Amino acid sequence: MLKLLTFCAVYLVAVATTALGFGFTTSGNSIIVTTDGGLVFTVDKTSGDITSMVFNGIETQDSSKRSQISSGIGASCSAVQTGNSNNYILITCTTSTLTQYYVARYKDPAIHMATYTSAEPSVGELRFIARLKRSAVPNGYQVSDIQGGTAIEGSDVYLVNGQTHSKFYSSRQFVDDQVHGVTGNGVGVYMIIPDTGYEGSSGGPFFRDIDNQGGDQQELYFYMNSGHTQTESNRMGLHGPYALWFTTGGTPSTYDTTFWEGLSVTGLVPKVSRGRVTGTATGVGSNQVVGFSNSAAQYWVRIDGSGKFTSPYMKPGTYTMTLYNVELAVASQSISVSAGQVITSNIASKASNPSTIWQIGDLDGTPRGFLNADKIETMRPSDSYLNHFFVVTFNVGSSASSFPLAIFKAIGPVTIKFSLSSSQIGARTLEIATTLAFAGGRPQVTINNWTGPAPAAPNQPDSRGITRGTWRGNNISYIVNIPSGVLVSGSNTIVINVISGSSGDQFLSPNFVFDAVRLY
């Protein structure tokens, strides 16, 4: 009852504040902000949590849980009206290792945010979670709606009406995830990550992390780093800016974050103190990605139809610049960025293109085109809607869509059958390109009556991957040197097994994901 009375009191103050125009008031432990753009929100100054978000009279914040950075930081908060013509309200919430900034800009129906860290939160991942009232915004991602479901893997994969659902299935690759949100009757709540919003995040352009989970609350996320199949170390410093934006239902556009430069924010590097990289990429098709990374920041840009690109505004420093063919790194070089300068750095693919006898799949860093690859990002391998993953025999020349995207130690190998002419035998090379592995899974082959060497355990993230909807790990190619006399004129057979010192049940057994297999 006391919680209900407190919530109602905050709500009534928020509604009353709407009539006051842009500004903020303090009531007890609550900082109540009116944007004059239809949004009134409340921050608990003793914790840094958001306790209310009223848009056009609709309360969108869940009453039983709070919206917060990580799992709550126990911060101490202060507020000030500042900036050009006092058109900004800056709330600063601090702990010894993390500062969370909330900003209201005059007439914006948004909570602008940025997060500064000098150490990883104790929860072990950095994310902002908006815990929204399900009845206000019931429309999230169907694949991540777990309401009424039964957990079948950990506490994050559920069976709902015979189909697997998971918060991981809401994820999109960072390079394509600038705006995502949930909606209801007359209201939409969206997370916007603008141009340099991912610079302090970790994982690279093709990393994916949770956007939404629909349960008793409608949860909307911005993940900056996590242990969810992440391929690089966490970055410290400023994360963002990013924003929680409210609409009457439509999807908003991204926005210019330059106004942050007029606020007092630790770690913010203004545009004038940044540099850019321009150039031409060759050896790959249009719309491919050029990425830039170092221990402090990451950026990326897609190349245009003529191969040209210009990077976002980057912090000064030395970066590894990488050219990708789809998701496969095909060239890298070191570049240095200086404040106020635009440097030119062209890059060309160095991908190996041997003359192959046969190839299964495209060598592009993904399993796209293989069996179930079009569904695995939003379904568990056990899902009844998928084609079976069990023992497969593949005849070279058949469609790649009948070749499995992954194989599992507890399920069995894939067998490849093919014919060779007398001119194609002798010492040859088999390449098995992979994108991800779980529990040390890697390929060992038997070719006719010859068994190839057992490779060492791969360097891959220590995390479930394919059962949580991702194939993105470290791209690793296994090269098998086939001695003369192993291959024969006529029919040949290759059996690819998963080997590992670990074990597990079915789809949680050691496994790996195919990129391509080729003989040359």
Q: How far apart are CA 239 and CA 510, in angstroms?
A: 34
Write the CA distances from 39 to 28, 301, 442, integer angstroms.
Answer: 21, 33, 53
Q: Is domain 68-262 annotated with CATH 2.70.98.10?
A: yes
The answer to whether the peptide bond before residue 510 is cis (omega within 30 degrees of 0) is no
Rounded to whole angstroms, how far apart are CA atoms 212 and 139? 11
* Interval 390-414: pLDDT, tens: 778 999 999 999 999 999 999 999 9
Q: Where are the domains of the chain?
A: 68-262, 271-348, 358-519
Mean pLDDT on 441-455 = 98
Token couple for 100: 């969370």
Is the Cβ–Cβ distance between 30 and 10 less than 8 Å? yes
Distance between CA atoms of 293 and 290, rounded to whole angstroms? 10
User: How large is the greatest C-alpha to C-alpha distance in the chain, in angstroms?
Assistant: 87
| Cα 80 to Cα 13: distance, rounded to the nearest angstrom | 19
Fold of the CATH domain 271-348: Immunoglobulin-like (2.60.40)
How many other C-beta atoms are found inside a 10 Å radius of the C-beta of residue 83?
Answer: 18
State what percent of residues in the chain have pLDDT above 90.
Answer: 93
Q: What pLDDT score was predicted for residue 12?
A: 44
Return the pLDDT at 20.
59
Band (pLDDT 50/70/90 cuts) for residue 4 is: very low
Q: What confidence tier does 14 reach under pLDDT thresholds 50, 70, 90?
A: very low
> Using one digit for the tens of pLDDT, what is the confidence trace for 461-497?
999 999 999 999 999 999 999 999 999 999 999 999 9
CA count, 13 A, side-chain hemisphere, 69: 32
H-helix or E-strand spanning residue 153: strand 150-153
Where b means 16+ CB within 10 Å and e means fewer, 202-224 reads: bbbbbbbbbbbbbbebbbbbbbb
Q: For residue 512, give both structure tokens.
A: 């790996």
Fold held by 358-519: Jelly Rolls (2.60.120)
